[in-house]
Chains A and B, each alone.
Chain A
Amino acid sequence: MSTADITLPTRRSGAKTVAQLLAFVRRHVLTVYSLLFFLYLMLPIGVVIAFSFNHPTGRFNYRWRQFTWDNWLHWNAVPGIQSAITLSLEIALFASIVATALGTLIALALVRYGFRGRGVTNLIIFLPLSTPEIVLGASLATLFLHSTGYGVSIPFGFWTILIAHIMFCVSFAVVTVKARLIGFDRHLEEAAMDLGANEWVTFRKVTLPLIAPAILAALLLCFAISVDDFVVTYFNAGNRVTFPIFVWGAARVATPPQINVIGTAIFAVAVTCMLGNVFLQNRRAKTA
């Protein structure tokens, strides 16, 4: 405020107050704006969390009645919810691991080696990222339906969901790992070979440790995308029910608060992973 006093010398105190107010707003406008925006982002999540502790009277968990721990204690009291969560976690685990492994190898090939068709491969990798999910889902369903005609029979279910998830996760994994590889000094690998490490040792001792953060990020990203996916899964799930499909089905007849419980749990795990990652990076930056 003292600078305002000096730069705006006025006699009347009213004008002075206005000037002070303006200066205050000017100084804090970014803070206020950020807080508002943060609120806008967090409010829906806050509501989800709060309603996981609600004790609704009817079938719909839309109006706050009273606080309870029951939903958390009996999180699997709703028929079908536990198997849906199990399936979602299984799919997400396998899909993220396979997609990240494939994605890392593809990224290495795309960045490290000049081969024919590299440009085309780049483009194809990018396609699933830019294609609407509904198109992806529908085309995959068509593919699986028609595969019988070519002698391969994949009934809709676990495997079709897994294949679909791996397919769209690979692109995310490639993009994530590629970004890290591009900013990577190639001379590091040459230096390792120069010092007597063969290709495999070079990969293990130099390349892998240096792209590990990107691989971890890809793994988490793929897991999150897979757990969350509805559209593509819906087309290819047959009669299997993943968590998003369960929520969608349930919402037509009832919204049990257990859905909020699972949502809150997923959110908590995601935030923990993220904070853990930030913490690790900070510590590494400090000690390194």
Chain B
Amino acid sequence: MTVEAAPPPEAPAASAEYDIRLIGLTKRFDDVVAVDRISLDIDRGHFFALLGPSGCGKTTTLRMIGGFEEPTEGRIELGGVDVAPLPPYKRDVNTVFQSYALFPHLSIFENVAFGLRRRGVKGGDLRKRVIESLELVGLAGLEKRKPRQLSGGQQQRIALARALVNRPRVLLLDEPLGALDLKLRKEMQLELKRIQHEVGITFVHVTHDQEEAMTMADRIVIMNGGHIEQLGTPSGLYEQPRTAFVAGFLGVSNLLEGTVAGEDRVTLTDGTAVQVPRNVLAGRTGTVSIGVRPEKLRIGGGEANSLAGTVTESAYIGVSTQYILDTPAGPVTVYVQNDRTGGQVATGERLTLSWSPDSTFVVDAEEGAQ
């Protein structure tokens, strides 16, 4: 009687089993290239974040996967099948829209039951699954209400329940938390992560909030201007960004220009030699920028790399103090933990900073200093 979707896997499969595979996907609107030849494999059962600044093509990518936008070029495979020619209702994906898009004329129960009814689920089975889904999002008991009688946060959960009840292969979420206030957003971030863990479905979550992506995702794709900048785990992207854009988009970083002077050595513009891990330099030559995160810098010597400069600005932020130093190689930001009382450095003082080669990353210089 029912056409059930395949049950979700218990745990993310270790083998290379892709849920979504994008191959050279391109979308042009007249003269705007919204998405520019992106290729991407999304593993089964992962929480995947699509992160990037406004207008970089995140929504367009998601809408192409969902079937609401036709690709100009390229393929979209879902579980190994090319779905590009299929309409949305023939794809085993469901979407949580940013505006929630709950049907205003239907009760919460009927909203959640909508997808199941389309697949011929009826009676007790339908009821059981709808209630289960509402319980999953913690809103059982509201099924008789209409969407407009719910708060924004509740509507958001109903939209989630309505999509998840169908047990899709992939759940697409387009900035689902964008309309919520900060506190609720933080709550829902954890909640979403818990739910994803519970149901084991692949989530593709679009956001332009880097903190949100870092908190929730197993894998992050950073997009910029229609193409993919870098794909990796949250810590991988933070510790070893490969482009200046990624380094600047995920937190604060110091980028200093220099030239490659050996397999594991870069000379900065002022002549300072900096040691970098061999694999990070990865055979680059010519002009590059080396980067180091402000919290990885230590005041005083003791590490292999060091740089001296004058404090031009200091800001006390409670848990840490932020200094900006003027060094011959360029301005450098450093965060110092306020783990001891006193010991504030005044502006105008000279300081020596040092950091470990392992905390150093390298990006192409011509991509622009931060």
Contact = CB atoms under 8 A, between A and B. Distances in A.
Interface of A: 185, 187-188, 190-198, 201, 205-206, 209-210, 287-288
A193 B87 contact: yes
B114 A192 contact: yes
Contacts of A191: 95, 97, 101-103
18 contacts: A187-B101, A188-B103, A190-B68, A190-B88, A190-B97, A191-B101, A191-B103, A192-B114, A194-B93, A194-B163, A195-B162, A196-B118, A197-B114, A198-B87, A201-B118, A206-B103, A210-B104, A288-B104
Given A190-B68, A288-B146, A288-B148, A195 B101 contact: no
B89 A197 contact: yes
Nearest to A196: B118
B115 A195 contact: yes
B96 to A, nearest CB: 9
| The 6 residue pairs across chains A and B that have the minimum distance between CB atoms | A196-B118, A195-B115, A187-B101, A191-B101, A193-B88, A288-B146
Most chain A CB within 10 A, of B101, B119, B162, is at B101
Given A195-B162, A196-B118, A187 B89 contact: no
Contacts of B104: 188, 210, 288
B118 A210 contact: no
Given A191-B102, A195-B163, 8 more contacts: A190-B88, A191-B95, A191-B97, A194-B163, A195-B89, A195-B114, A198-B89, A288-B104
Contacts of B87: 193, 198
Given A190-B68, A288-B148, A196 B99 contact: no
Nearest to A190: B68
B66 interface: yes
Given A190-B68, A190-B88, A288-B146, A196 B101 contact: no
Contacts of A188: 101, 103-104
Given A190-B68, A209-B105, A288-B148, A195 B94 contact: yes
B166 interface: yes
Nearest to B88: A193
B166 A196 contact: yes
Contacts of A288: 104-105, 146, 148-149
A197 B149 CA distance: 25
A112 B97 CA distance: 19
